[in-house]
Amino acid sequence: MKQLKVIKIGGKLIEDEGKLADFLNDFAKLKGPKILVHGGGNMATEIAGKLGYETKMVDGRRITDENSMAVITMVYGGLINKNIVAKLQNRNVNAIGLCGADGKAIVSKKRPVKEIDFGFVGDIENINSEFILNLLEQGITPVFSAISYSETGELFNTNADSVASEIAVAMSKEMETELLYCFEKKGVLADIDNETSIIEKIDAEEYQSLLEQKVISDGMLPKLHNCFQAIEKGVQTVRLGDMHLLRPESKHTKILSS
């Protein structure tokens, strides 16, 4: 069974040209099929401000109104996505930039309104693994922006961690799949202010203990939730770390199934 790596790169790394270059150098050296997933919320917020659009956030989550969705489509699907694809081509990686609407790759439904109306935000319902597998078999590396679509033709802002996780789960039925979250921290930290306090292995029991001790910060909670969901649904390995995560010698956090 072929091995596949699904890698999500965080927005803070995308914004730093030096760190992005280091990451893409390592990504280009990976052998075998691979998929890259990105968001870019900070850049979308910055450009929205330049256009005179206010960005509304509730509990750290974006309210995606019509103007926000237009900016996200331009920034995620255009500016960031195509820049990454161009840089990968320069490193001899034959990449293709995609959003969820391309090839019906990521189908979602609009998040239902409960206490908060998040607007044009999608919750993933289906991944077109056959389409993705076809690209990989041709030696093409998909680069997905965090935009999904509905079968009624709407585009939706979609959490990039969830996009990576759902793609990894779907592809795990076709290939031996590893999911990697590459962001600004070296991994899950026992002390948020100490970059060397990496928790190198976390299983479900340890995860519950860390939650009870409130060691895990709010921003890490949904990421780890995605990690354990992926493991439970068939993804072989999940790892979290900084821009050097793809290097064999890197220290990082590995999620264990039990």
Residues annotated as binding site for substrate? 40-41, 62, 157
What residues form the annotated binding site?
40-41, 62, 157
CB 75 within 8 A of CB 81: no
Question: Residue 148 pairs with which residues in a beta bridge?
Answer: 156
> How many Å apart are CA 255 and CA 168, to the nearest integer?
14
In the numeric block, which tokens belong to residue 2?
A: 């072929």
Burial pattern 154-181, b for ≥16 Cβ within 10 A else e, equals ebbbbbbbbbbbbbbbbbbeebebbbbb
DSSP classification of residue 53:
P
> How many Å apart are CA 19 and CA 57, to the nearest integer?
27
In the numeric block, which tokens belong to residue 46?
A: 């910055």
Dihedral sign of CA atoms 95, 99, 103, 107 in order: positive
User: Residue holding tokens 């075998």?
Assistant: 32
232 exposure class (CB count in 10 Å sphere: 0-12, 13-18, 19+): exposed
CA 187, 189, 192: angle at the middle one, nearest 5?
125
> How many Å apart are CA 95 and CA 86, to the nearest integer?
8
CB 105 within 8 A of CB 131: yes
